[in-house]
């Protein structure tokens, strides 16, 4: 009986305490990633990303829709081909109030997925290193998360615990982040404050899956796609010897 009373009291207290929603400021940050060209150097075009965030929600959008291709011939006569698949629709929405992270992604085989995930589960360690990005002082933090080691530069002067893609959880907005392999890279492009802009979760439709399932499906679909392409090339290439080897990498690895 006593336990029930305590529970009821806590529930009532929680119900009456409302978070402060009055001070709403929206910040928009653009990031980019240089795209590696086949055989060295970088493409002129970059992949572009945009984050809009308030302390209470955020939307991160992959802006680059077009595909890029870069081909070079290796010394042994083989071709090294790199594809950068643009994103027709790809976003990450975070709702800290509901402790929800939703990613919407269209796969290589044009399947649409809504992937649910936790918000900012990474454990950051703040480093001594400091620098400025376009005049804004930032501090370095590092973490190991889902198979990658990340370096992030966050701005304590912008107290929003958020960042590009799924990254966040630091006492300041992440302006720059990259992993040690330089495959997941978000470099700072621009920053501005939006007046009166509201952030809404896009109403995209797709199959709702867990991250685990999505990663499995994504790899399977990619491999299937390139098997298919290889078979097609073989059937049309006559006497040419076609041997396609595909290196599949993911931004996240759960195992």
Residues of this chain that bind another protein (CB under 8 A)? 14, 17-25, 27, 30, 32, 34, 36-42, 46, 54-56, 72, 75, 96-97, 126-132, 134-136, 139, 142, 149, 151, 156, 158-161, 169-172, 178, 180-182, 187-193
Nearer to another protein, 52 or 161 (CB): 161
Q: What is the per-residue burial (b if ≥16 Cβ within 10 Å, else e) of 169-205?
A: bbebbbbbbbbeeeebbbbbbebeeeeeeebeeeebe
The CB-of-84 to another protein minimum distance in angstroms stands at: 13
Residues making up the chain, counted from first to last: 255
Nearer to another protein, 88 or 134 (CB): 134
The CB-of-25 to another protein minimum distance in angstroms stands at: 5
- Say which residue the tokens 């011939």 belong to: 73
Nearer to another protein, 156 or 206 (CB): 156
What distance in Å separates the CA atoms of residue 20 and residue 119, rounded to the nearest whole number? 21
DSSP, res 16 = H
Nearer to another protein, 12 or 233 (CB): 12
Nearer to another protein, 22 or 235 (CB): 22
Helix (H) or strand (E) run with residue 177 in it: strand 173-179
Nearer to another protein, 115 or 139 (CB): 139
The CB-of-1 to another protein minimum distance in angstroms stands at: 27
Helix (H) or strand (E) run with residue 228 in it: helix 211-236
The CB-of-36 to another protein minimum distance in angstroms stands at: 5
- Neighbouring-strand partners of residue 47: 33
Helix (H) or strand (E) run with residue 83 in it: strand 79-84
The CB-of-83 to another protein minimum distance in angstroms stands at: 15
The CB-of-102 to another protein minimum distance in angstroms stands at: 18
Alpha carbon distances (Å) from 222 to 28, 146, 151, 160: 32, 20, 28, 36
């Amino acid at each position: 009986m006593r336990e029930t009373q305590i529970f009821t009291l806590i529930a009532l207290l929680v119900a009456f305490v409302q978070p402060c929603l009055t001070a709403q400021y929206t910040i928009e940050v653009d990031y980019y990633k240089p795209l590696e060209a086949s055989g060295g150097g970088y493409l002129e075009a970059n992949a572009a990303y945009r984050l809009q965030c308030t302390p209470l929600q955020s939307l991160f959008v992959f802006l680059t829709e077009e595909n890029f291709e870069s081909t070079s011939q290796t010394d042994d006569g083989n071709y090294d081909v790199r594809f950068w698949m643009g994103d027709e629709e790809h976003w990450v929405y975070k709702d800290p109030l509901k402790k929800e992270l939703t990613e919407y992604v269209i796969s290589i085989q044009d399947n649409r997925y809504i992937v649910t995930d936790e918000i900012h589960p990474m454990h950051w360690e703040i480093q001594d290193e400091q620098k400025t990005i376009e005049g804004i002082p930032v501090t370095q933090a590092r973490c190991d998360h889902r198979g990658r080691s990340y370096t992030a530069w966050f701005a304590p002067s912008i107290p929003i615990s958020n960042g590009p893609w799924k990254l966040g959880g630091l006492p300041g907005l992440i302006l720059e982040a990259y992993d040690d392999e330089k495959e997941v890279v978000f470099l700072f492009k621009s920053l501005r404050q939006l007046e009166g802009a509201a952030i809404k979760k896009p109403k995209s439709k797709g199959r709702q899956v867990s991250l685990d399932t999505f990663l499995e499906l994504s790899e399977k679909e990619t491999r299937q796609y390139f098997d298919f392409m290889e078979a097609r090339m073989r059937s049309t290439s006559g006497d040419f010897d076609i041997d396609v080897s595909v290196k599949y990498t993911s931004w996240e690895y759960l195992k």
